Chains A and B, each alone.
Chain A
Amino acid sequence: MNMNRRAFLKTTGAGLMASAFPLSLVKIAFGGQAPAQDFTFGYISDAHLQQIQGNEFVRNWDMGLIRAVREANLLTPRPDFFMFGGDLAQLGKKEELDHGLQIMSNLRGKVHYVIGEHDYYLDLGEYWQSKIGPLWYSFDHKGVHFVTLNSILTYDSWIHKKWPSPMDRMLAMARLDNPNGSPFMVGEEQLTWLKKDLEKVNRSTPVVLFSHSPIQKIFKPWNFWTEDAERVQALLKPFEKATVIYGHVHQIEYNQIGNITFHAVMATAWPWPYPESYSQTASCLPKLTVPMNRADPFFERDATGWQFIDVRKGKVGMHYQLPDNKNRSVVFNSKAGKPQDVNYQDYGSRIPPQTHY
C-alpha cells in the first residue's frame, strides 16, 4: 500500500507534467478498487467579474475566467463535472452574474455552483436562484456524496439592519478588515437540513462538502472563517472519509482536522496573501510553511489559477493549474493521514524564500 501510494504520488505529480496530453489522469489500480469509483472533476472559483459600465467589465478578471474555461476544455480525459466555487460577480449585480454565466456557458460539461458573498449581498441571492438554482443542495456521484452549502450567511440582525441601500450592504461585506463587518456562518436552517441530509448517507460513503468560506477558522478580519464551522465539522465527524473544499481565500491551503481533510482552491481573479493566524483561541492551524512564490506583477495571471481534482477511493487529489507559475498538486497521504504537497513535502524541496534588500 505504501509503495502504491508512493507510485501514485509520483505518477500524478511528475506524470501530469510530462504527459503527452494536457492533463492525463494516469489510472493506477491499487487495493482492488473498482474503477467506477475513481473519477475527476474540475474546479473554477472566485472570478470576481466587475462591471465598469454598460458592456464594459474589468478586463483582467474577465481574462482569468476565460483562460480557466478554455484550459478546462482541454482536459483529457473529460472531467465528470465542474464546480464553480463562488464570487462569480464582484458586487452581485445582474449584469455581472449574466456576464459570468455567459463566459461559463463555454465550459463543456455540467457545472454545479457554490454562492459567494460577492454574489449574495446585493439582493440576498434572489437573482442567483432565478438563474442558477438553490443555494444549498446535495447530489451523489459514483458512490461519493457531495454537499454544497451557502456558508457566507451571517446574523439576520446585520443583514437586515437599516442599510442606506442594498449596495451599501454589499460593499460592507466585500470589505476586508471591516470593523463593522460580520462573520460568515451556515446558520440553523442549513445545519438542520445538513443533519437530515447526512442521516441518509452510509458512514462508509465518502462525503465531499463544498462551501465558499473555509469551514474552519483561519482569519476573522478577512472572513477566512465560518462562525459555526465546528457544528458543520461535528456533522461530518461520523464519516470515514470527509473532505471540505472551499474558495474565498484565493490561495492554496490544506489542513486535516480529525477525519476531515480541507483544501482551498485558487481564484481566477487575483491572489490573496496568507493572513497571520488569528489567535482568538489557541489554534492548531498550520503555519504557512510553503510560500507561493511572490506574484510577478507583470504577469497578471501569476498566483491565480484553477484546479483539476481527482477522487480516488473517496479522497481528493488537488491539481492546481497555475498560469505563469509552477503547477502544484496536493494529495491525501493515507500513511501520514493528511494532505501533502506532492513536490514540497520535505524541507529540502521547498521554495526558498526571497531575500529582500
Chain B
Amino acid sequence: MKTTARYFKGTFRTGIIAATFAACVAFAAPVGLPPVPVPTDNLITPEKVKLGDKLFHDTRFSSTEEVSCATCHDRKKGFADSLPVSEGIKSLKGTRNAPTVINSAYLRTQFWDGREPTLESQSAQPFLNPVEMGLKDHEPILKIVRTDPEYAELFKNVFGKTGDQITMVEVQKALATFQRTLIGGNSPFDRYYFEGEKEAMSPAAIRGLDIYIGQGRCVSCHLIEQTQALFTDNRFHMIGVSANQMPQDLDELLAAVEDVKKKGTDIAVLSNPKTSSLGRYAVTRDLTDIGAFKTPTLRNIELTAPYMHDGSHKTLEEVVRFYNNGGRLNETDPLPELLSGGIRPLNLTEKQQADLVEFLKALTSPQFVQK
C-alpha cells in the first residue's frame, strides 16, 4: 500500500480512497487529507451539523449574551479571530491565540496544551472560563436548549431527546459534529503535490516546498506524508516562543503549578501569562514539556495571523525569521535554555525565507478565502 502510494505520488487520488472509507459518514475527504475520524457514538448527520452550527453561533451562551464560539472562531477570519490573544466577554483578554477550528477534527488532542482529548470534551470549557464566555455553570445553556422551540425541535430530531433529557453531552456532541465538517484541503499545494498539477503552485512556492522539506526542516513537525498532509505531528515542542515569560526558578515554577492546581488548568492558563507559559507541562508535569505547545496545522495559515500560541508573531515573515535564528527573532537574543532539540539555526538566505513564505501561502483552502 505504502509503496503503491509513493509510486503513484502526484496522480494518486486520495479523495477517492478517502471517500470509500468515509462513505458511511457522508463526507469525502478533500484532496490532501485523510477521512475525518468520527467517534462511533457521535456519527455525523446533516441535522446534527445544523444543530451544532446554531449552537456554535449562539451568543446567549455567554454571561453578557454577546460572545459565541464564533466570536473567536470566525468563519470570515479562517475560524480564528485575527487577534494576538482572544477576547471574551467585556473584552477580557486571555493568554493564547485562537487556533483555527478548520481541520481540528484531525487533532489527537485539543487546546494548545492538549489538555482535552476530543472536540466533544473541549467544547464544554470556554463557556465557563471567566475570560471567555464567563458562565458560572452550564445551566443557562441547558435552560435555553430545553425551552427554545427551535432547539427543542432540533434536539428531538437529532438525539430523540426532550426537556431534561437534553444534557451537555448532547450539546457537546452537536458542537463537535459541526466542527468535524470544517475540513480544508484542496489547496494549491494539494493540487501540486498529490494531483500532479504542475501549475498549481508558483515557482517561488515550489522552491519553498523544497526548503520546507529540506534545509528548513519544517516537515519534521509539520508533517507531509505520502498520501496526505495534516501539517502537524500532534506532538508538543518548546520552540522558544515567550521563553521570557517562563518560570525562571523553582519558586516561580511551583507558584505556577500551585495556580494550576487551585484554579484548574483551563482557567489558570488563560488568566496568567506565566502559568500559560508552562505549556504542556501544566498537563503532564514532565520536565521535557516545560514551555512545550502543540504543533498547529499550517493549513490556511495565511488566513490566521497573528501567529504562535501567544500571537506574538505578526507575519509569516517574522515566523520564518524566528525559526531561521533557531528559536529567536534576532540572532543576538539569548537562546532559551529548555529549547526543544529539534530547533536549531537553519542558515536560510533572505530569498529562501521569502520562498518559504510563498509556500506557506499555498496552503490555503479556496472555500475559506473571503471574496
- Which residues of A come within 8 Å of B, CB atoms? 17-23, 59-60, 63, 66-67, 69-71, 73-76, 298-302, 321-324, 327
Interchain CB contact under 8 A, A66 and B220: no
User: How near does chain B come to A101, taking the closest CB pair, in angstroms?
Assistant: 17
Chain A residues whose C-beta falls within 8 Å of the C-beta of B57 in the assembled complex: none
Cβ–Cβ < 8 Å partners of B340 in chain A: 299, 301, 324
With A and B bound together, what is the CA distance between A23 and B341 in angstroms?
Answer: 22
A-B contact pairs, 14 of them (CB 8 A): A17-B285, A18-B285, A19-B285, A20-B258, A20-B261, A22-B253, A22-B287, A63-B341, A70-B337, A73-B250, A298-B220, A322-B288, A323-B341, A327-B286
Cα(A321)–Cα(B338), bound, Å: 14
Q: Is the CB of B342 within 8 A of A300?
A: yes
B93 at the interface (CB under 8 A from A): no
* Residue of B with least CB distance to A77: B250
> Which residue on chain A has the smallest CB distance to residue B250?
A74
B341 & A302 in contact (Cβ 8 Å cutoff): yes
Q: Any chain A CB within 8 A of the CB of B249?
A: yes
| B285 close to A74 (CB less than 8 A) | no
CA distance A302 to B286 in the complex (A): 15
User: Hey, which chain B residues are within 8 Å of A74, CB to CB?
Assistant: 249-250, 253, 287, 290
Chain B contacts for A322, CB-based, 8 A: 288
Shortest C-beta distance, A22 to chain B (Å), equals 6
Majority SS of interface residues in chain A? loop
Give the contact-size bracket for chain B. 20 to 34
Assembled-state Cα–Cα distance A299/B341 (Å): 5
Given contacts A70-B338, A299-B340, A323-B341, is CB(A76)–CB(B287) below 8 Å? no
Kindly list chain A residues whose C-beta atoms are within 8 Å of the C-beta of B338: 67, 70-71
- Complex interface: chain A residues within 8 A of B290 (CB): 74
Q: Chain A: which residue is nearest B345 at the CB level?
A: A59
Tell whether, in the assembled complex, residue A20 and residue B257 are in contact, meaning their CB atoms are under 8 Å apart.
yes
Contact, CB under 8 Å: A67 / B257: no
Main secondary structure of the interface of B (DSSP, over half): loop
Shortest Cβ distance from B6 into chain A, in angstroms?
Answer: 13
Q: Are A298 and B342 in contact (CB under 8 A)?
A: yes
**Is B341 touching A71 in the complex (CB atoms < 8 A)?**
no
Contact of B337 with A66 in the complex, beta carbons under 8 Å: yes
Nearest residue, chain B, Cβ from A106 = B337
On chain B, the residues within 8 Å of A20 by CB distance are: 257-258, 261, 285
Query: Known: A22-B253, A73-B249, A74-B250. Is A17-B342 also a contact (CB below 8 A)?
Result: no
| Residues of B participating in the A interface, judged by any CB pair closer than 8 Å | 217, 220, 249-250, 253-254, 257-258, 261, 285-288, 290, 335, 337-342, 344-345
How far apart are A55's CB and chain B's nearest CB, in angstroms? 14
Contact present for B341 and A300 (CB under 8 Å): yes
How far, in Å, is B13 (CB) from chain A's closest CB?
A: 26
| Among all A-B residue pairs, the 4 with the closest Cβ atoms | A300-B341, A301-B341, A70-B337, A299-B341
| A298, chain B: closest CB distance, angstroms | 5
- Other than the known A298-B220, A300-B344, what 10 A-B pairs have Cβ atoms closer than 8 Å? A21-B257, A21-B285, A66-B337, A67-B338, A70-B338, A298-B217, A298-B342, A302-B341, A323-B287, A324-B340
Q: Which residue of B has the minimal Cβ distance to A19?
A: B285
Residues from chain A with a CB closer than 8 A to the CB of B285 are 17-22
Q: How far, in angstroms, from A17 to B341 measured CA to CA in the complex?
A: 21
Give the residue of A59, A67, A299 whose beta carbon is less than 8 angstroms from that of B342: A299
Contact in complex: A21, B254 (CB < 8 Å): yes
Kindly state the separation between the CA atoms of A74 and B253 in the bound complex, as whole angstroms: 8
**Which residues in A have their C-beta under 8 angstroms from that of B286?**
17, 327
Chain B residues closer than 8 Å to A301, beta-carbon distance: 340-341
* Distance from B255 Cβ to chain A, minimum over Cβ atoms (Å): 12
CA–CA, A301 to B338, complex, Å? Answer: 11
- Chain A residues, CB < 8 A from B344: 59-60, 300
Distance in Å from the Cβ of B246 to the closest Cβ of chain A? 10
How near does chain B come to A56, taking the closest CB pair, in angstroms? 12
For A324, the closest partner residue in chain B by CB is B288
Chain B residues whose C-beta falls within 8 Å of the C-beta of A73 in the assembled complex: 249-250
For the complex, give the distance between the alpha carbons of A53 and B194 in Å. 46
Which chain A residues border B261 with CB–CB below 8 Å?
20
Q: Are B342 and A71 in contact (CB under 8 A)?
A: no
CB distance from B142 to the nearest CB of A (A): 34
Residue of B nearest to A59 (CB): B344
Residues of the A chain whose Cβ atoms lie less than 8 Å from the Cβ of B220? 298
Bound complex: CA A60 to CA B339 (Å): 11
* Residues on B with beta carbons closer than 8 Å to the beta carbon of A69: 337
What residues of B have a CB within 8 angstroms of the CB of A323 in the complex? 287-288, 341
Q: How far is the CA of A75 from the CA of B287 in the complex (A)?
A: 10
> Are B337 and A324 in contact, CB atoms less than 8 angstroms apart?
no
| Cα separation A153 to B337 with both chains bound (whole Å) | 35
Tell me the complex Cα distance, A301–B261, Å: 30
Cβ contact within 8 Å between A67 and B337:
yes
| B260 CB → nearest A CB, Å | 8
- Roughly how many angstroms separate A47 CA and B7 CA in the complex, as a whole number? 44
